[in-house]
Structure 1
Amino acid sequence: MWGTVLASALLLTGGTPAVADAGWSPSPIVWTDCPLDPDSPPPDGECGTLQVPLDWNRPSGPTISLAVARHRSTDSAHRIGVLLADLGGPGSASTEFALTPGFFSPEVQARFDVVGFDVRGTGRSAFIECPDTGRAPSDEPAGQAEFAALQAYNEKAVSGCRAANLPIFDHANTADNARDMDALRRALGEARISYLGISYGTLLGQQYAELHGDRVRALVLDSSIDHSAGLERFLGDRATAADEAFGQFAAWCDRDTTCALHGQDVFDVWRKALAVTSGEPRNQNDLRDLVLKSFYRPDWAYAAQLIADTAAGNPPVTAQFIFNYPSIRLAVMCQDFDLRIRSFAQYTALHAGELRRGPLMRGSTLSHSEAMACLGIQGPPANPPHRLSIPRAPRILMLNSRYDPATPYAWALAVHRQAPANTTLLTYEGAGHGVYPRNTCTRSAVDRYLLTLAAPPHDVSCPA
């Protein structure tokens, strides 16, 4: 059902891509003005499209069109090359990210063409959107009957989404995107590229380094996904991270008089808010999800007011997704990870582990919803999870917050241990998701590495 498994053995060994790529060459990109958004100023850059094979194992077969955007270096006389940038998600449009003013420092923008491409199923690259299948059952089933109902709903939803988005749905995992990334390198005429990936974009960077390590000039992995994580760690590590982030939030409330909960027992008010919403699981999940998302920036003032309002009897409105994340995760995450829960007994054990490792937040709504969305998917993942193997890659700079609610610090440590010979880890000693623009310490370390290839000689940390 899910298409051909893509070069899994090669990914496991860090070998050279299959000979299916041999003899295929991309056409040059024709650059034009970018599409205008009536609600935004004109983009400072240029846009184009890249034609790539739908199925990299059949390069002479049908092709698809990927959207590409470029912000040219502002000091062309001292241009270093191309810096590919990916915001992650899955679901975010990296064409927009590449043209976002102010994210990269002026020094980086002076020396690099900053390029982004919308990976398969996102933005203007064969956008994946599932049809409405109605109100879903709770993703926290209380018994066998509820588990069976959720599984039946998911099987129907996934089948309908796949049917509405063929053929791209079967060819949208990160291994496919990594091969697209090398096609983009070739189309740009670059012998080597630099890359900065954030969050899910770090998995694209890792898989590109496995396939094409010798074509990497510099690689920044900001807030790392651990592709080797099985179900227990996928759920448990994030549950722990959510609780650790809550602990940082509570400490802020204790010391900052602007916190709406200052002077109160934050943990007690939180338990009251959960109790207020316990009669309607969806309201409670919305509360947990909104609080978790507020830890990304972090926006602790918003979290405090939200908890205070809920405890007073005013629960939050339904949480909203951005981009097409609920749709594309079925084609991407469910094929990048083995998130297959096969029985209610297995679910019960996994959920007990979530509650044990994250009793405050009752687990991570992020990882729980992702795992439960994959319930009912048949067959093994097309892009099997595995330990990182990048012997041909240069030194890589990794960044992670110590209290990251989405990509746990434990994942950064795991990835670092999988490739100790050529990774350096910079730890931001604070909270939040995404590290590069946090402060002068984090930005200068990345800029120095991108501009000069001088990574810190050993693991370092930056203060919050």
Structure 2
Amino acid sequence: MRVFGAVLGSLLVLAGGTPALAEPGWSPSAIAWTTCPDDPDSPAPPDGECGTLRVPLDWARPSGPSISLAVARHRAADPAHRLGVLLADLGGPGSSGAEFALSPGLFSPEVLARFDVVGFDLRGTGRSEFIRCEDTSVPPDDEPGDRAQFDALRSYSEKAVSECRARNLPVFDHADTGVNAEDLDAVRRALGEAQISFLGISYGTLLGQQYAEKHGDRVRAMVLDSSIDHSAGIERFLGDRATAADELLRQFAAWCDRTTACALHGRDVLALWPQALAAADGMPQRHNWLRDRVFSDMYGPDWDDAARVIADTLAGQPPVTAQFEYNYASIRLAVVCQDFDLRIRDFAQYRALHAGELRRGPLMRGSTLGHGEAMACLGVHGPPANPPHRLSIPRAPQLLLLNSRYDPATPYAWALAIHHQAPANTTLLTYEGSGHAVYPRTACTRSAVDRYLLTRQPPPHDISCPA
């Protein structure tokens, strides 16, 4: 991680002479841009700048305690034709927006020429009050088979959430996406911009949606790539993802059937799959490790790896799984559990919900992502701070939605739901392939996004890009 510069406490003028916008209420201090320190693992580009911005801990008490957000900027390569600021969030939750802004290779040269790409670390991530839980005990199986196992899992989760919250106060109680949307507007104001463009991927799309709801008139253009549906109740949160996981497994089987390089080519993949799961369950690794590994391969998708892992498991040779430093398992307690109502009352409700997962996704045993988040939230009490609701963006311009037809994390059904909730403000681009995140996949997907960002003109109607 980089070291970010400090904020100049009470300055109201941005470095470079651009005045901060005069708006009612809380006023931002300037972002004191500095050269990013050298980092041998991730060198900053020569036109990259780093800084911090102090914002209220609680936006309902703007004069109360404050926290510091890490911000970074990659300046437009063609400043004479600069179109403004493009803020980007890669989701997670847990990714570093500041780090991404310093290596924005996702974007085309045309976009990088015309925009300052800006990213900030959302609360609890990167250099913005990083949330980390320290529980090292072995958790119970998150698929309890009876009431006693369910009660044990609930007790474990309640203890884990309580200890994580105590360790990470006060930011733990002020990290949901509704709060982050206000932080996003604080960055806009500190930059002195009347409007911003925005690209969010995966969980970053919820940040964009909530910003468009709260500050739609401040949006120049917005791309939502692989969208979270904030209107989903717990049944759809689990069921839609379970269906999507099974659809991806069928896509994998079809790929393997037509691809001679597949390690399982010429064999009935869907028939082998339950055999592989049974073999994996007999190995010393944690329960469902094979399902989870193949599910992660669906994001790419990396069908080569999925095939090799299944073949190795059937041969009795489980692969070694690498571990990475990433605080998603911690920060989801403060974010996802407050953005969605994932409270499960008792074992009877859990049993009904899990039966629904298995009914909609029998091949993959449900979604490792949806199920894992719901069970992690088992120990969270009280209503969500940022309750789910249907999208309402009457003040926003036309937004461009992108989604894969087969997406394991943000099902295509969610993009359709969002499109139906705001038909007058959204245009949908469907990538007719598999995987998570669409923008850089093909010339068709990239050109549609670039044209929209550069001209503010979305496609004249919903469009489809081939796989």
* TM-score normalised to structure 2 length: 0.93
What SS does the aligned partner of 1:391 have? Answer: coil
What SS does the aligned partner of 1:384 have? Answer: coil
Instruction: Return closer, same or farther for 1:236/1:321 CA change in 2, 3 Å cut-off.
Output: farther
Q: Within 2, Cα distance between the matches of 1:55 and 1:154?
A: 26
Report the equivalent of 1:224. 227
Letter in 1 for 2:70: A
Instruction: Return closer, same or farther for 1:326/1:62 CA change in 2, 3 Å cut-off.
Output: same
**Shift, 1:25, TM fit:** 0.4
Conserved 8 A contact 1:286-1:318? no
Instruction: Return closer, same or farther for 1:440/1:201 CA change in 2, 3 Å cut-off.
Output: same
Report the equivalent of 1:34. 36
Conserved 8 A contact 2:104-2:117? no
What SS does the aligned partner of 2:437 have? Answer: coil
**Shift, 1:42, TM fit:** 3.4
Conserved 8 A contact 1:286-1:316? no
Q: Does residue 116 of structure 2 align to residue 116 of structure 1?
A: no
Report the equivalent of 1:405. 408
What SS does the aligned partner of 1:303 have? Answer: helix
**Identity of counterpart residues, as a percentage?**
76
**Shift, 1:98, TM fit:** 1.5
Report the equivalent of 2:25. 23
Instruction: Return closer, same or farther for 1:162/1:287 CA change in 2, 3 Å cut-off.
Output: same
Conserved 8 A contact 2:277-2:288? no
Q: Does residue 292 of structure 2 align to residue 286 of structure 1?
A: no
Conserved 8 A contact 1:36-1:43? no
Q: What aligned pairs does 1:334-349 form with structure 2 within 5 A after superposition?
A: 334-349=337-352
What SS does the aligned partner of 1:374 have? Answer: helix
Report the equivalent of 1:65. 68
**Shift, 1:447, TM fit:** 0.2
- What's the CA shift string for 1:64-98, capped at 9, x where partnerless? 00000000000000000000000000000011111
Report the equivalent of 2:237. 234
Instruction: Return closer, same or farther for 1:322/1:418 CA change in 2, 3 Å cut-off.
Output: farther
Larger relative contact order (Cα-Cα within 8 Å, sequence gap ≥ 6): 1
**Shift, 1:281, TM fit:** 8.8
Q: Does residue 133 of structure 2 align to residue 130 of structure 1?
A: yes
Q: Within 1, Cα distance between the matches of 2:442 and 2:352?
A: 41
C-alpha RMSD over aligned residues: 1.3
Q: What aligned pairs does 1:354-373 form with structure 2 within 5 A after superposition?
A: 354-373=357-376
Q: Within 2, Cα distance between the matches of 1:202 and 1:240?
A: 21
- What's the CA shift string for 1:373-395, capped at 9, x where partnerless? 00021100000000000000000
Q: Within 2, Cα distance between the matches of 1:158 and 1:383?
A: 18
**Shift, 1:314, TM fit:** 1.9
Conserved 8 A contact 2:250-2:270? no
**Shift, 1:133, TM fit:** 4.0
The one of 183, 186, 204 equivalent to 1:183 is 186
Instruction: Return closer, same or farther for 1:102/1:323 CA change in 2, 3 Å cut-off.
Output: same
* TM-score normalised to structure 1 length: 0.94
- Greater shift after overlay, 441-450 or 305-314? 305-314
Gaps of 5+ in 1: 1-20
Conserved 8 A contact 1:203-1:225? yes
What SS does the aligned partner of 1:424 have? Answer: strand
Letter in 2 for 1:239: A
**Shift, 1:248, TM fit:** 0.8
Q: Within 2, Cα distance between the matches of 1:260 and 1:338?
A: 41
Q: Within 2, Cα distance between the matches of 1:212 and 1:102?
A: 28
What SS does the aligned partner of 2:160 have? Answer: helix
Q: What aligned pairs does 1:271-282 form with structure 2 within 5 A after superposition?
A: 271-279=274-282
Q: Does residue 452 of structure 2 align to residue 449 of structure 1?
A: yes
Letter in 1 for 2:35: D
Q: Within 2, Cα distance between the matches of 1:99 and 1:388?
A: 31
Q: Within 2, Cα distance between the matches of 1:268 and 1:322?
A: 36
Report the equivalent of 1:259. 262
The one of 139, 146, 151 equivalent to 1:148 is 151
Letter in 2 for 1:38: P
Report the equivalent of 1:328. 331
Conserved 8 A contact 2:79-2:114? yes
Q: Within 2, Cα distance between the matches of 1:357 and 1:282?
A: 26
Q: Does residue 419 of structure 2 align to residue 416 of structure 1?
A: yes
What SS does the aligned partner of 1:148 have? Answer: helix
**Shift, 1:321, TM fit:** 5.7
Q: Within 2, Cα distance between the matches of 1:101 and 1:317?
A: 31
Instruction: Return closer, same or farther for 1:99/1:322 CA change in 2, 3 Å cut-off.
Output: same
Report the equivalent of 2:8. none
Report the equivalent of 1:306. 309
Q: Does residue 371 of structure 2 align to residue 375 of structure 1?
A: no
Report the equivalent of 2:57. 54
Letter in 1 for 2:384: P
Report the equivalent of 1:458. 461
**Shift, 1:154, TM fit:** 0.5
- What's the CA shift string for 1:9-56, capped at 9, x where partnerless? xxxxxxxxxxxx942100010001224333233344111001100000
**Shift, 1:284, TM fit:** 4.2
Conserved 8 A contact 2:50-2:71? yes
The one of 243, 248, 251 equivalent to 1:248 is 251
Q: Does residue 71 of structure 2 align to residue 82 of structure 1?
A: no
**Shift, 1:282, TM fit:** 5.4
